[in-house]
Structures are given as structure tokens and as C-alpha cells.
């Protein structure tokens, strides 16, 4: 997909899963379709949380407004 | 006239130029006594419906997908569903105006279902965005772009270079294509501020020379060339700082490049800024640079000109149509960091030249008012109504 790194593949997946607010946060198991190992996915989510591109609640993740715009920028 | 505009982005959902373009035409068309409906996607903390003069209908995509392209088709269906509700309440539109391939499917379907003419605006093409048609996805998008150009009674591009590109790529009859550039609302830029305080707010000091670049962190924007120009600029002016505003998938690569070149502490990435902060940032910056490899228009150039900045741009596509070299800006070769560095050094060094560029740019930007551009757009709508075909 347009030579994206894993970080942006994950943002893109959260976008298309409509995980754009806390009510639509998705569990890690739905993100495993990216084909990453769980440990890899965990370190990726840590990085994205640090950059404020995603937010989490009770182990589920959703895009922050900045993360949503970052995800959209891939395709615009 | 009742106009339905389909766009996947609308403020505060601001990704690229589409959002500002659609906002500009919506506000201007509304002032000109048209009933304008924007059908767009939702954004956190914004209402489903908003009356800003233009009526904004924000659509939620109610079904998730693992795949972006399927998701695009889904949101187009939800656009169509929302249009059904809007028609029930307000009546059928006179025109449907879709922006870029992302909303083309809904635009084409609605044209045939409602028997209302379609106008389609290209803001860029897949061929240039993806640097060629090299994947299945790109082939599909390319085909949708062709289809939209075929179905639309009038095709709009934001620059003459893009008009040529569309005619070449999709074999569109030239008389069907109209150039309506992006515009700008100058009143937004007419404010004063405490420069020192705002610089402090952004973590900048008064004695720094601030270069600004704004845009998505993608190949198109050419920010790597700007970073490569920094060592040369710093040799002459060590107190220079480069601020990059925007987000994108090349962020990490660009940061790494800056550190590899030894200028990591002189290049700062600010991510997305909201409108208010971006306007302030323009005001406290010294020079705006647009080193793009591809820029169908370059709305940022207008924003820089309106903010009283000298602008230095790559001589590509739409930018060449906005900026006249040595008159209201500086045009450099694309993908040439040395040329870019020398232009920046010249503008920093020569205050008289700096002021000349700013003064002329301020005059130039007045030609891009949304109101005058929308007169042309209304003509395109009228032509589309007159020449509509539904077979």
C-alpha cells in the first residue's frame, strides 16, 4: 500500500475501522490483520501514543484528531 | 441555485488543499445567494449538521472495513444515503459538484439517479500522486478519475498545467475543462500580534531567522530538498531555523535525514497546526519555502503572500502560474537543494529585495479572491446545466 511504513499502515487501518473516537476504539486483536507480531504491534502503539497520533482506553485504541489527519494525508 | 458539493474533507478536517478550496467556494457561493450543501465526512467533536451559511452535512461511515479502498466505496454509499435525506428536506439540487476521485462514485451515481448534471474538480491526479500508475490500486483510481472526467459535463482544474495533464491523461475535450484556481480569504490574514510573544509560544527566539514550510510530509512536497539545503544556509546564517508544519508518512525519514546532515537541531517538525496557530505562525516567520516536486496549485503560496512573506517556490505546475520570478517571489529548480539554498541566502541577505518581493506578492494575491473565482464557477455550473447528458 503506497510503500507505507507500519506506523502509517496502522493509522490507515484505524481510519478504515472507523476508530475515530473513544466509542469506536478497537482491541488489539482487530489490528493483528496487519500481519505484525503482537510485540511489534505493542511497540508501534506505544510510539503512536507518545506522538499523540492515537489514544487508548482499557487496552483499545482510536485515532486522535491529529492521527486522523495524518492517516488521511496518506491518500490525499 | 441549489448546489450539492461532495468532498471527503471540510474544516476542521483539513488534509490538503481540497478542504480550504471547498470552504472558500462554499462561503462565496452562499454570499452570492446560492443554497450550498456540503456533504462531507465527520470529524471528532463536530456536529452532524451545521449551518455556516453553507449547510454542512457530516456523514458517519457506519460500517468498518479492513481496507482503505473498500472503505472509500462504503463512505460514498453513505454520502448517497445522506443526499436522500437532504433532498427530502430541501429538494433536488441543480448541480452536483464532486471533488477528486474519493467522492467521484457518489457524484456519478447521484447524477444518474437524480438526473442532475455533474461537475467534477481535479485537485491532483493519481498518476502524479503515486509517481506513475504502478499498482492495482493506482490503476483503479486512475480509472475512476477517467470515469469522473467522462461523466462530468464540466471538468474543473485548479491550474493550467493541470488542465493540460487532464487532457493528456484522460483524453478530455479541451472545451469541457475550465481552470478555476484556488482562492483566498484575505480578511483572515489581516490582524496584528505580539511577534515576540508568539515566537516564544512556538519556542522560537527573536533573533532567529525562521524558514517555514507547510504541507503533508510526502514525496510530492519535496521537503527533503529543503533539509538538504540547510547546511549551506547555516554556513552563512547560523541563526536560521527551519519549521515544517504538517504530518505524513515521511516524518521519520525526514527527521533522520536532518540528523544525518548534522542539522537535526535546526529543523523542527510541528505536526498539524490548527487554523489559528497556522495564521500566527505565518506572521512570525521570515520566509516561506515551497520546494514541491508536484503541486497542482499551491494554496500555501497564496497564504504566504497574504501574510506578508517572501516566498521561494519550485518551478513546477501550478506554482509557476502563481509566482513570477524576481517579481513576487523566487522560482527555483525542483529537486535542486543548492539552487534553493542560494535563493534563500539571497532573500535573507538583501533587505531591499526582500521588501520588493513582499510588496509585489501582496498585490498579486489580491487577484485570487473567492468571489471573483466563483463568478467563473457559476458560469461553469450554468454551462453544465445547459449541456447536461445522461445517456
A27 φ/ψ angles, rounded to the nearest 5 degrees: -75, 160
Residue A45 has pLDDT above 90, yes or no: yes
Strand partners, B332: B314
Q: Does A7 touch chain B (CB under 8 A)?
A: yes
* pLDDT for residue A3: 62
* pLDDT for residue B15: 79
**Domain spanning B2-183+369-387: CATH superfamily:** Glycogen Phosphorylase B; (3.40.50.2000)
Q: How far is B360 from chain A (nearest CA, A)?
A: 32
Distance set, CA B60 to CA B55, B186, B255 (Å): 16, 32, 35
Strand residues in chain B grouped as ranges (E): 2-6, 35-41, 49-52, 54-59, 95-99, 118-122, 154-157, 177-179, 209-214, 240-245, 267-271, 287-290, 311-314, 330-332
* pLDDT for residue A2: 58
Q: Tell me which H or E stretch contains B144.
A: helix B136-151
Nearby residues of B198 by Cβ (< 8 Å), 6 or more positions away: B280, B283, B284
B63 φ/ψ angles, rounded to the nearest 5 degrees: -125, 125
Chain B's closest residue to A72, CA to CA, is B15
Tens-digit pLDDT profile for residues B93-144 = 999 999 999 999 999 999 999 999 999 999 999 998 888 899 999 999 999 9
Domain ranges for chain B, please list them.
Answer: 2-183+369-387, 186-368
Average pLDDT of the segment spanning A32-44? 90
Range in A71-75, B58-62, B106-110, B166-170 with the lowest mean pLDDT: A71-75
Average pLDDT of the segment spanning B381-391? 94
Residue A74 has pLDDT above 80, yes or no: no
* pLDDT for residue B274: 84
B2-183+369-387 and B186-368 in the same fold: yes
Q: What is the set of domains in chain A, with CATH numbers?
A: 6-73 (1.10.10.10)
B218:A73 CB<8 A? yes
pLDDT category, B386, cuts 50, 70, 90? very high
B44:A66 CB<8 A? no
pLDDT category, B216, cuts 50, 70, 90? confident
Tens-digit pLDDT profile for residues B222-247 = 999 999 999 999 999 999 999 999 88
Q: How far is A5 from chain B (nearest CA, A)?
A: 7
CA-based angle B340:B343:B252, to the nearest 5? 30
Q: Does A2 touch chain B (CB under 8 A)?
A: yes
pLDDT category, B163, cuts 50, 70, 90? very high
Query: Hey, what CATH class is B186-368 in?
Result: alpha beta
A20:B216 CB<8 A? no
Pick among B249, B269, B273, B277 to test the A interface (most A CBs inside 10 A): B249
Amino acid at each position: 500500500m503506497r510503500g507505507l511504513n507500519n506506523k502509517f499502515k496502522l493509522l490507515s487501518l484505524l481510519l478504515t475501522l472507523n476508530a475515530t473516537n473513544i466509542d469506536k476504539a478497537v482491541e488489539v486483536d482487530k489490528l493483528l490483520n496487519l500481519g505484525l507480531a503482537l510485540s511489534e504491534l505493542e511497540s508501534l502503539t506505544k510510539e503512536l501514543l507518545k506522538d499523540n497520533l492515537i489514544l487508548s482506553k482499557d487496552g483499545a485504541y482510536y485515532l486522535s484528531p491529529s492521527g486522523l489527519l495524518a492517516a488521511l494525508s496518506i491518500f490525499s | 441555485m441549489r448546489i450539492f458539493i461532495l468532498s471527503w474533507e471540510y474544516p476542521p478536517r483539513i488534509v490538503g488543499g481540497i478542504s480550504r478550496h471547498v470552504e472558500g467556494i462554499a462561503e462565496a457561493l452562499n454570499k452570492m445567494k446560492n443554497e450550498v450543501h456540503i456533504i462531507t465526512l465527520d470529524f471528532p467533536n463536530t456536529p452532524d449538521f451545521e449551518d455556516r451559511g453553507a449547510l454542512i452535512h457530516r456523514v458517519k461511515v457506519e460500517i468498518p472495513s479492513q481496507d482503505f479502498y473498500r472503505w472509500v466505496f462504503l463512505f460514498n454509499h453513505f454520502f448517497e444515503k445522506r443526499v436522500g435525506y437532504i433532498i427530502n428536506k430541501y429538494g433536488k439540487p441543480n448541480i452536483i459538484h464532486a471533488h477528486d476521485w474519493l467522492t467521484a462514485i457518489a457524484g456519478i451515481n447521484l447524477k444518474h439517479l437524480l438526473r442532475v448534471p455533474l461537475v467534477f474538480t481535479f485537485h491532483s491526479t493519481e498518476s502524479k500522486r503515486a509517481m506513475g500508475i504502478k499498482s492495482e490500486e493506482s490503476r483503479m483510481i486512475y480509472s475512476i478519475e477517467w470515469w469522473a472526467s467522462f461523466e462530468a459535463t464540466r471538468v474543473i482544474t485548479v491550474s493550467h498545467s493541470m488542465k493540460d495533464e487532464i487532457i493528456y491523461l484522460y483524453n478530455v475535450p479541451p472545451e469541457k475543462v475550465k481552470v478555476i484556481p484556488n482562492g483566498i480569504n484575505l480578511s483572515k490574514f489581516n490582524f496584528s500580534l505580539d511577534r515576540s510573544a508568539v515566537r516564544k509560544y512556538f519556542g522560537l527566539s527573536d533573533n532567529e531567522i525562521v524558514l517555514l514550510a507547510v504541507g503533508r510530509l510526502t514525496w510530492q512536497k519535496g521537503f527533503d530538498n529543503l533539509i538538504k539545503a540547510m547546511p549551506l544556509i547555516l554556513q552563512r546564517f547560523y541563526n536560521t531555523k527551519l519549521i515544517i508544519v504538517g504530518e505524513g508518512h515521511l516524518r521519520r525519514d525526514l527527521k533522520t535525514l536532518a540528523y544525518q546532515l548534522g542539522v537535526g537541531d535546526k529543523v523542527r517538525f510541528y505536526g498539524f497546526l490548527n487554523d489559528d496557530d497556522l495564521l500566527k505562525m505565518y506572521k512570525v516567520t521570515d520566509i516561506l519555502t515551497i520546494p514541491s516536486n508536484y503541486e497542482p496549485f499551491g494554496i500555501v503560496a497564496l497564504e504566504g503572500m497574504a501574510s506578508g512573506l517572501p516566498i521561494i517556490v519550485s518551478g513546477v505546475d501550478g506554482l509557476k502560474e502563481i509566482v513570477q520570478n524576481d517579481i513576487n517571489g523566487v522560482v527555483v529548480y525542483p529537486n535542486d537543494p543548492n539552487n534553493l539554498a542560494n535563493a534563500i541566502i539571497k532573500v535573507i541577505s538583501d533587505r531591499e529585495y526582500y521588501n520588493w518581493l513582499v510588496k509585489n506578492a501582496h498585490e498579486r494575491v489580491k487577484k485570487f479572491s473567492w468571489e471573483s473565482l466563483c463568478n467563473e464557477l457559476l458560469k461553469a455550473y450554468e454551462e453544465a446545466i445547459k449541456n447536461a447528458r445522461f445517456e
